[in-house]
Amino acid sequence: MQRVRIRIKGIVQGVGFRPFVYSLAEKYSLRGFCLNDSEGVLIDVEGTDIDGFIGELKTRHPPLARIESLSVENLRPVRYSGFTIKESQTCSKSLPVIPPDTAICQDCLRELFTREDRRYLYPFINCTNCGPRYSIIEEVPYDRCNTTMRTFQMCKDCLEEYTNPADRRFHAQPNACWQCGPRVWLTDREGNTLCEDRDALQMAQTLLKEGAIVAVKGLGGFHLSCDAENHQAVRLLRQRKRRPTKPLAVMSCSIEMIKRYAMVNDTEERLLASPESPIVLLRKLPRSSLSALVAPDIDMFGVMLAYTPLHRLLTEGFTALVMTSGNLTDEPIAISNEEALNGLSAIADYFLLHNRPIHTRVDDSIVRTGKRGSLVIRRARGYTPRVVRMTVKGPELVAFGAEKKQSITLVTSGYAIMSQHIGELSTLKTLEFLRESLEKLKRLFSIEPTVVVHDMHPDYLTTRFAKEYAREHAIEQENIIAIQHHHAHIGSVMAEWGLEGEVVGVSFDGTGYGTDGCVWGGEFMVATRREFTREAHLLYIPMPGGEKVVQEPWRMAVSYLHALYGTGFDCYPEEFVRRVGERGINAMIKLIERRINSPLTSSAGRLFDAVASLTGLRDTASFEAEPAMILNSLAERTRDRGVYPFQIRENGTMEVDTLPMVDAIVEDVKRGVPPETVARRFHNTIVLMIVDVVDILCERTGIRDVALSGGVFQNMLVLEEVTERLERMGLGVYHNRAFPVNDGGLSLGQALIGLERVKKG
Ligand code: ZN
Ligand code: ZN
Ligand code: FE
């Protein structure tokens, strides 16, 4: 007889760990107890086969659990009489465990389609290993009475499962069935109920088949749905949503279905079927039955595997359904039935509703994979609110991010908690969503920030909001910290990888306010967690019309052409002049020459825009980065190894002169070189620019670690090529993985730098 005390740390609460321990103890005939406390799970057992027990603890634990450490201490046997799960011991200082929403598990899926099961076709089936979590939690601790499931009284059968430690629904807080749980119904756009339960799902399917647009209430909000194979329906959805070209996500019921229209490798298959179940960006098959309007001009589809029982039932029988966020442009997604009926009735013909309230809106996450692993591009459902350990300790803090792909980060006792993706901060409703998210996270994690961090841009809504917040909460001036945009990008990499000391940082993205008042975005720096010095940047070039250039890339093309050839229109590509018109070009030149509303920029994103326009791909953009995405898609189609010329000039900070490259591109375009070849050569050149400048900086400073961040690195061609080459030079290369490389990850970097600055005092 042997007795041990086992301490397990990591993600072990709210994930079915104790029932697992219970059944394992039974299997090995062990006696004793286990409990949750502030440090994780504590097990105290005695018996004869302790080793076998520990072995299985480590290897067969529930899918959502992550064991960070497991320590064993030998004790004198005390002859326990049985095995029990003891009451949780909570310690006020510990960080509460708030599990993320989780995709339906295999066991529940099996029951869902078992005719004899009492939950046969029940759209809200769940268990300890799966189901809604973060989206339904109102208060901590995570108990049914603190979730939106509070109003549903469990029936006898459900309660029995819930209280039986040997059951796979032991303490499954959202546990429910046809008898006692949430229900689903279908309405027209006036809100009149047409039918309920299984009929509602069936009728929704029939209507979708006929080409209708249905608003579907899901896990973290509404989707707008239509049959992805129905060209008319997709066109109608685009028209009504006023979303001409931005790719629409699709959802299918099985991996086999997905393989009919997209290429899926093992990593991608694992991701699609993971508990997080994000939208995965997959390469399109050359010919597929999906409407070309799902993702026009781009070689990828954003695909989800149905992740709730409701979605699983709905997608059955379709190759794929379009499942795009149920929102109006730049507004947060709708979560309540009323919100949806009011806001989406001009878009959807029918509404598939249910009565399990969504407390917190969470969009679908987006992930893409590459040769070297996956990148989270949008961090929301399934990932939020997982915490990151910070290696700096400091006061409680909130970092407000930037303005696009907004997220906020809160810090407490050595942990950072990033909010879900909030969206584009251009409407009051998104600002309201930000405020709401901040208040909820503060409450759930009991954080009261005494330090506020924001972007250096004086006009960002978040900057104003941060200052207002500081005033309202009497936060001292010295604890309001502004951080340069691209330093924050590099900081986010340092936070994610726990990097200390100096790094060479490369931040290529669209827009960020520079310390000289110019619009930065093609930046090379030497950075620590506290400071940075700008060592090099792409050539400054005017942005005629300011931010307007984002929607009208042709303006940037004119700016480069003007820098190269002045008003000598005969040097401009003829095609370009014909498409854009001399009047437009003249107007831009006037702005540039008279320096009216033409701030200087070193943005790499704007360079992509200009090239996309010069090559005739896009003169206007219906969403940010559209030209860059199309350029990237084209470049992937060829392996041309050509490189355009450029120059690295030294004058204090280095300047990468991009004009020789644009000149060569214009030559290629005039000679009728195919756009994919130009696109590829352009990509090759961007890679070379980065590698050359980093080489110089590493040589000069002796630094061996390089951090890459900023929206341009969502471009796998650039990211992978740059990483490979720098690694071949013996450098350590780091970039964001679990956090967005775009502005969605910015608040994490701000939080880290903010902490360091306060520490310094
Ligand atoms: Zn389950
Ligand atoms: Zn029930
Ligand atoms: Fe950025």
Q: Give residue-wise pLDDT tens across range 386-440.
A: 888 888 888 999 999 999 999 999 999 888 999 999 998 888 889 999 999 999 9
**Which ligand is located closest to the Cα atom of residue 457?**
3
Q: Say how many Å lie between the CA of residue 173 and the centre of ligand 2.
A: 12
Which positions ≥6 away from 640 have C-beta within 8 Å? 677, 680, 681, 684
Task: Over range 280-300, report the average pLDDT.
Answer: 96
**Which ligand is located closest to the Cα atom of residue 742?**
3
**Which ligand is located closest to the Cα atom of residue 126?**
1
Q: Give residue-wise pLDDT tens across range 203-220.
A: 999 999 999 999 999 999
Q: Say how many Å lie between the CA of residue 156 and the centre of ligand 2.
A: 7
| Cα 331 from chain centre | 17
Q: Say how many Å lie between the CA of residue 309 and the centre of ligand 1.
A: 10
Residue 593: is it exposed, middle or buried by C-beta count within 10 angstroms (0-12/13-18/19+)?
middle
**Which ligand is located closest to the Cα atom of residue 402?**
3
| Cα 117 from chain centre | 36
Q: Say how many Å lie between the CA of residue 176 and the centre of ligand 2.
A: 5
Q: Say how many Å lie between the CA of residue 163 and the centre of ligand 2.
A: 13
Place of tokens 């917040």: 469
Produce one character per residue of 642-679: b if its CB has 16 or more CB atoms within 10 Å, e if not. ebbebeeeeeeebbbebeebbbbbbebbeeebebbbbb
Longest CA span, the chain: 95
Using DSSP, state whether 459 is helix, strand or coil.
Answer: coil
**Is-contact 229 252, C-beta < 8 A?**
no
Task: Over range 744-750, report the average pLDDT.
Answer: 97
Q: Say how many Å lie between the CA of residue 300 and the centre of ligand 1.
A: 31
Q: Say how many Å lie between the CA of residue 311 and the centre of ligand 2.
A: 21
**Which ligand is located closest to the Cα atom of residue 106?**
1
**Which ligand is located closest to the Cα atom of residue 172?**
1
Q: What is the reported pLDDT for 92?
A: 46
**Which ligand is located closest to the Cα atom of residue 520?**
3
Q: Say how many Å lie between the CA of residue 110 and the centre of ligand 1.
A: 9
Q: Say how many Å lie between the CA of residue 537 and the centre of ligand 1.
A: 51
Q: Where does 582-625 have alpha helices with state H?
A: 582-593, 604-614
Q: Give residue-wise pLDDT tens across range 70-85.
A: 999 999 999 999 999 8
Q: Give residue-wise pLDDT tens across range 23-56.
A: 899 999 999 999 888 778 999 999 999 999 999 9
Give the CB-side neighbour count of residue 22, counting CA atoms within 13 A.
Answer: 17
Q: Say how many Å lie between the CA of residue 126 and the centre of ligand 1.
A: 5
Cis amide leading into 385 (omega within 30) = yes
Looking at residue 744, the DSSP 8-state letter turns out to be G
**Is-contact 515 456, C-beta < 8 A?**
yes
* Closest of 353, 383, 444, 456 to residue 744, by C-alpha: 383
**Which ligand is located closest to the Cα atom of residue 149?**
2
**Which ligand is located closest to the Cα atom of residue 110?**
1
Task: Over range 230-259, report the average pLDDT.
Answer: 97
The whole model's pTM is what?
0.93
Q: Say how many Å lie between the CA of residue 748 and the centre of ligand 1.
A: 32
**Which ligand is located closest to the Cα atom of residue 522?**
3
Q: Give residue-wise pLDDT tens across range 57-70.
A: 999 888 878 888 89
Q: How far, in Å, CA of 165 to CA of 153, rounded?
A: 20
**Is-contact 483 455, C-beta < 8 A?**
yes
Q: What is the number of residues in the chain? A: 761
Q: Give residue-wise pLDDT tens across range 684-742.
A: 999 999 999 999 999 999 999 999 999 999 999 999 999 999 999 999 999 999 999 99
Residue 760 has pLDDT above 70, yes or no: no
Q: For the chain, first and last CA: distance in Å?
A: 57
Q: Say how many Å lie between the CA of residue 383 and the centre of ligand 2.
A: 29
What is the chain's Cα-based Rg?
27
Q: Say how many Å lie between the CA of residue 105 and the centre of ligand 1.
A: 4
Q: What is the reported pLDDT for 178?
A: 98
Cα 79 to Cα 32, 43, 45, 46, 51: the distances in Å are 8, 15, 10, 8, 18
Joined together, the tokens standing for residue 140 give: 């901590």
Q: Say how many Å lie between the CA of residue 182 and the centre of ligand 2.
A: 10
Q: Say how many Å lie between the CA of residue 158 and the centre of ligand 2.
A: 4
User: Other C-beta atoms within 10 Å of 116: how many?
Assistant: 6
Q: What is the reported pLDDT for 453?
A: 98
Place of tokens 């790499």: 604
Number of H helices, E strands in the chain: 22, 31
* Closest of 746, 747, 738 to residue 367, by C-alpha: 738
Q: Say how many Å lie between the CA of residue 99 and the centre of ligand 1.
A: 14
Q: What is the reported pLDDT for 62?
A: 85
Residue predicted with more confidence, 20 or 696: 696
Q: Say how many Å lie between the CA of residue 169 and the centre of ligand 1.
A: 8
Q: How far, in Å, CA of 80 to CA of 97, rounded?
A: 30
List beta partners, residue 36. Answer: 41
Q: Give residue-wise pLDDT tens across range 578-625.
A: 999 999 999 999 999 999 999 999 999 999 999 999 999 999 999 888
Residue predicted with more confidence, 582 or 330: 582
Degrees, nearest 5: CA angle 487-493-499: 100
**Is-contact 679 636, C-beta < 8 A?**
no
Domains of the chain, with CATH numbers?
2-85 (3.30.70.100), 184-354 (3.90.870.40), 375-491+743-760 (3.30.420.360), 519-527+535-735 (3.30.420.40)
**Which ligand is located closest to the Cα atom of residue 605?**
3
Q: Say how many Å lie between the CA of residue 175 and the centre of ligand 2.
A: 7
